[in-house]
Structure 1
Amino acid sequence: MKSLPNIRPTLTALALLLAGCVVGGVPQSAPQSGPHLSPTECRDLAALRSNAPPTMAQHQSELAALRKAGYDPSPWYDDPYYPDDLQAAQRLVDYWFNTECHPSPPR
C-alpha cells in the first residue's frame, strides 16, 4: 500500500488539472489597464491584414497578441477546446486592433 506522502503530489496535480477544466480550459489573464497591443503588434497585425507576404516577425507578433488574449497553443495535440479557444482569442485581438490601433495617415 502506498503511503500518503507519495500520493500527495498526484492529488495536487489532479486538483490543478480539474481546476483548469472548470474555468473553461483557457488561462484567465489578469486585467490590464491601458492598451493591450503594443505599437509593433498593431503595425504587424495591420501588415498581415493587408495581404502582403507575411514575415516570421509578423507571425510571432500575432502569436504574442493571441497569447495576451488567453490562447495557449502548447496543447495542440490534445486540446478539447480547439478551435473555440483560438477563435475567441482572435475575436478579442480583432477588438483590440479595432479600438487601439490607429491607422497611419496616408503618405
Structure 2
Amino acid sequence: MKASAFRPILPALIVAALSCGCATGPMPDPGRNLTDAQCRDLTAIAAHAPPTRQSNASELAALRRAGYDPSPWYDPYYPDDLQAAQRLVDYWYRMECVLARSG
C-alpha cells in the first residue's frame, strides 16, 4: 500500500487529536488560558521544585498556547518569541492562578 493512501486520513486524525485535547492535555475552562494543573505546575516551577516531566509538559503547553512554536529548526526570532510567550504566560499566571488563590 502506498503512503499516499494515508494522506486523506492524516488531517482528520490531527483535527480529532486537537479537538479532544489529546495532543495538549485538558483544555482550560472557557475564559481561561491556563488549566488548574498548569497553575499548580507553574507554581512548583516558580518555587524551584525539582523539575518533573509533567511540569515541563505543562510549561511547554502554556508557552505553545501563548504562541511559541519550538519546532522550527532555525528560528530567526529566537529568543525574542520565546521571551514574549513567557511574558504572556506570566501575565496569565498572575491573573488566573495567583488571583484565583487569593480571591
TM-score by length of 1: 0.63
Output the CA distance in 2 between the equivalents of 1:36 and 1:52: 23
Matches within 5 A, 1:92-107: 92-102=88-98, 104=101
Alignment equivalent of 2:80, drawn from 78, 84, 102: 84
Greater relative contact order (Cα < 8 A, sep 6+): 1
Cross-structure match for 1:8: none
Per the alignment, in what secondary structure is the counterpart of residue 83 of structure 2? Answer: helix
Number of the residue aligned with 2:46: 49
Query: Structure 1 stretches (4+) deviating beyond 2 angstroms?
Result: 102-105
Per-residue CA distance 1:45-79 (angstroms, 9 max, x = gap): 0000101111111000000000000000001x310
Classify the secondary structure of the residue corresponding to 1:101: helix
**1:14-70 C-alpha deviation (Å, 9 max, x unpaired):** xxxxxxxxxxxxxxxxxxx50100000000000001011111110000000000000
1:65-84 alignment, distance < 5 Å = 65-75=62-72, 77-84=73-80
Q: Which amino acid aligns with 2:86?
A: Q
| Corresponding residue number in structure 2 for 1:61 | 58
Letter in 2 for 1:38: T
Identity of paired residues, percent?
62
Give the number of the structure whose residues are more often helix, by fraction. Answer: 2
Q: Determine which structure has more spread, i.e. the larger CA radius of gyration.
A: 1
1:104 is displaced (CA, Å) by 4.8
RMSD over aligned CA atoms reads 1.5
